[in-house]
Amino acid sequence: TGVVLAYVFGRRTDEVFLELKALLEPFGIRIFFTDDWGAYQRLLPEQQQVTGKANTQKIERKHLTLRTRIQRLARKTICFSKLDVMHDTVIGLFINRYEFGLAV
């Protein structure tokens, strides 16, 4: 559907993926469209994943929108913050506003 159901802020580690997977659990997602990152092979059953670019284009487009609309995600700006909590807060507020129209 293209709707953001959950997000986790962090590096691409197995632990961060497991956090995201736990947040997505209540939605009953049976298929994950993934790139060729090793954690997917380690942590998802083979029948639950589809690897390839054809189905990941929508999420990559959302990432581009985030980078262009939220200045602090671009390192070469005066808005950049080194605090993870600030990135997490700003991204969460943007998603609430952009995806759901909620002015928080």
Query: Quick check: 39 and 14 in contact, CB under 8 A?
Result: yes
The residue assigned the tokens 């200045």 is 71
pLDDT tens per residue across span 37-57: 888 889 999 899 888 887 778
The per-residue pLDDT for 51 is 85
pLDDT tens per residue across span 41-99: 899 998 998 888 877 787 788 778 777 777 666 666 666 667 778 777 878 888 777 77
**Which two structure tokens, joined as six digits, stand for 85?**
């909590």
CA-closest candidate to residue 42, choices 17, 9, 23, 60: 17
Q: How far apart, in Å, are the Cα atoms of 7 and each of 20, 23, 60, 78, 88?
A: 6, 8, 14, 25, 9
